[in-house]
Chain A
Amino acid sequence: MKKALVTIAFGLTASLFATAASAQATLNSVKQKGFLTCGSNTGLAGFGQPDAQGNWTGLDVDLCRAIAAAIFDDPTKVRFIPLAAKDRFTALQSGEVDVLSRNSTKTMSRDTQLGLDFPAINYFDGQGFMVRKKLGVASAKELNGASICTQQGTTTELNLADYFRANNMKYEVVAFATSDETFKAYDAGRCDAFTTDASGLYAERLRASAPDDHIVLPEIISKEPLGPAVRHGDNQWGDIVRWTHNAMLNAEELGVTKANVDQMKTSENPEIKRLLGTEGKFGEAVGLTNDWAVRVIKHVGNYGESFEKNVGEGSRLKIKRGQNALWTKGGLQYGIPVR
């Protein structure tokens, strides 16, 4: 609450009195500060969460670290600002964060009316429901009359209304400001069902008082392309975010990993040479050094490595690659060629 007010107050003051930041300023201001400020989730396992020592980990966190690595050759030069769903866009608009990497859905209105750009999609998701096993519910179609906990200010809140309307079912919505409050209310029995993106359901279930008492229903009721957001108008900065993500995808496709990236520099494969900057001046064209992708992969790894470590089989979440596999393996992640 206090945080929200501070954010909003900050945003208002900034938009009232700041002379408009010049459109190409983000990279320079990040370099001047010496670190990147990254809008992050307040705590979503696998995507963005601080541990007991305050070290942030997660798929979204890795993207911010990758951007910092591309700029500074140092993935620790990131300051993470935890943001609730309802404060996140204001924080980005007002300049409190340089990039928002916080499982945010790209939609047309956010892209066109909020003054934001979504340069990449780093996780293809969809909204689902979680219920207690003992309710005996096997499908979302059986949720007529249920009360459902959701986080306010999200696409989830809107999809929920759409879904129940389309299926002519009644429900009672209980909306909370933060994901923490929402899940606690569900866990305490305030609601029959909890809804958020499917990835979030698996992550939150780990926090339940008895995780095995809950099941995720099979229906996926929406498309949720999640990705980083930047302010509209600073195209160079948008390019840096876009190409950092694409470098991680291309690295996976070409078999460049954290471990072998230095050896790969001597590869004769022209695609690898362009990616790693031994041929061409692609990095300089976006205001970085030509070995930008080497920095990203050496410090953070390729997309597949980041996925496995944070949300995949190597993590507690054990989410399958599914739609997030590379296009060569039947998924939707498609690295735009570096050339």
Chain B
Amino acid sequence: MQTVVSQTSPPKKSFLYDPKVRGVFYQVVLVAAVIFLFYVAATNAIENLQRAKIASGFGFLNNTAGFDVSQALIPFSAAGSTYGDAFIVGLLNTLIVSAIGIFFTTILGFVIGIARLSKNWVVAKVAMVYVEVLRNIPLLVQLLFWYIAVLGSLPQPRNSLEMGAGFYLNARGLFMARPIYASNMWILVAALLIGLVGTFLYRRWAKQQQEQTGRQYPVGKVTLGLVLGLPLLTWVVLALAGVNPISFELPRKGTFNLTGGMQILPEFVALLLGLVTYTAAFIAEVVRAGILAVSKGQTEAAGSLGLKPGQTLRLVVIPQAMRVIVPPLTSQYLNLTKNSSLAVAIGYPDLVQVFMGTVLNQTGQAIEVVVITMGVYLTISLITSFIMNIYNRRVAIVER
């Protein structure tokens, strides 16, 4: 049959009946239709806005904001800042809560995920209860719980809880001493840098020694000593010499609240706690799945080579589990970032609260504001995915 076909010259088909041409044709039509739809939507929207005398365009970003924000990482004032600045304030607040949240939720998630596989019955069950409770209650409810029930029941400023070392806690947040750096602060920074470089060199040397001679060196203790000990020692020496590079401004009691020092808003703490504990429950499951995916023979082989349980976990199981863990872990990071927009319910000035709340309402430019906000979340998520994909490629199994 095949030979027959290959021998006869292909019949002259009409151009119209060529499946390849048809395929291309349909795709071109589809793309054109989609573009046309977007074009119609855009022009129609602009026309309607003009007819309704609703201002449009992005010029509003340069207008004076006129409102204040409780937490701004860049200098922000009602008089001197624009809506564009308000956008940056909101964006930075979203980014900082997401970044800190991702850091802590990773640690907590790994601890709970590993705990759930513990041979200790109590530890395993506590971890299981944590996961089942936290991931089955809506995040919004948890945020309100942290904000209203937990942080809201803290004492009023006049009865602030004094926690020592300049830390105070009350319903307005956590207050702490603010460091003020003197001009000789560079000595401390230099000490820290020396410590870091020294650690790096020592670790490289220790690894070489271990590979060549099999001798192990106390890497952990030396790292601690170099990175923490050296700057601390320098500080103590400088302080004793009477040229203290860091002094602290302590919070004092003011008319209404503590003034001076640094303040962490309860809205921020509530949001962070809610996001971290909630996402950690999912990450714990991801970690558990990853560890269970590593065949039991690997653990047994590590054991027969004489590795301790901790070493087995760290050197054999986790590296292989990471292949399974990283892709779903990325999703959880993205979820945490997007869920941070629930801040709007508890008054934390994140991007959605400041930009899609106040700015949208004061300017009335819903389309522009919503488009910018969607673009921002898309960009943040794509960047996170990109970084995680690079990491994934590094930990992925190398096919031979």
Interface of A with B (CB < 8 Å)? 1, 4, 8, 11-12, 15-20, 85-86, 89-90, 93, 109-110, 112-115, 135, 142-147, 152-154, 157-158, 160-162, 165, 171-177, 181, 184-185, 188-190, 192, 231-233
Contacts and interface: CB of A to CB of B under 8 A. Distances in A.
Contact of A181 (B48, B257, B345, B358): B345
Interface in B342-400: 342, 344-345, 347, 349, 353, 356-358, 360-364, 366-367, 370
Nearest to B63: A109
Interface in B300-341: none
A11 B366 contact: yes
Contacts of B77: 165
B296 interface: no
A247 B226 CA distance: 83
A1 B342 contact: yes
A305 B255 CA distance: 45
Contacts of B171: 188-190
Question: Which residue among B42, B79, B358, B367 has the maximum number of chain A CB atoms within 10 Å of its CB?
Answer: B358
A15 B152 contact: no
A113 B357 contact: no
B361 A19 contact: no
Nearest to B66: A158
Closest 6 CB pairs of A and B: A153-B361, A161-B78, A115-B54, A114-B364, A115-B52, A113-B55
A22 B269 CA distance: 50
A158 B67 contact: yes
Contacts of B360: 86, 90, 153
- In this complex, the member of A142, A175, A192 whose beta carbon has the largest number of chain B beta carbons within 10 angstroms is A175
Contacts of A18: 48
B261 to A, nearest CB: 13
Interface in B198-250: none
Given A145-B256, A181-B345, A113 B52 contact: no
A188 B152 contact: yes
11 contacts: A19-B44, A20-B48, A114-B55, A114-B364, A145-B254, A146-B257, A157-B67, A158-B66, A161-B68, A174-B70, A175-B353
Interface residues of B, number: 50
B349 A175 contact: yes
Nearest to A143: B256
Contacts, number: 148
A171 B77 CA distance: 12
B12 interface: no
Given A113-B55, A158-B66, A161-B78, A177 B357 contact: yes
Nearest to A94: B366
B53 A12 contact: no
Contacts of A162: 66, 78
B361 A233 contact: no
A144 B254 CA distance: 10
A233 B363 contact: no
A161 B266 CA distance: 22
Contacts of A110: 364
Contact of B366 (A12, A147, A177): A12
Contacts of A174: 70, 267, 347
B322 to A, nearest CB: 36
Contacts of A135: 256
B135 to A, nearest CB: 21
B161 to A, nearest CB: 14
Contacts of A233: 51-53
Contacts of A175: 67, 69-70, 347, 349, 353, 357-358
A158 B356 CA distance: 16
Contact of A93 (B52, B78, B172, B363): B52
A107 B361 CA distance: 13
Contact of B266 (A4, A89, A190): A190
Contacts of A115: 49, 52-54, 364
A1 B345 contact: yes
Contacts of A112: 53
Nearest to B347: A176
Contacts of B42: 16
A232 B53 contact: yes
A286 to B, nearest CB: 22
B184 interface: no
A184 B147 CA distance: 12
A93 B345 CA distance: 24
Given A175-B349, A177-B353, A145 B66 contact: no
Contact of A161 (B49, B67, B172, B361): B67
A110 B140 CA distance: 32
Contacts of B52: 20, 93, 115, 231-233
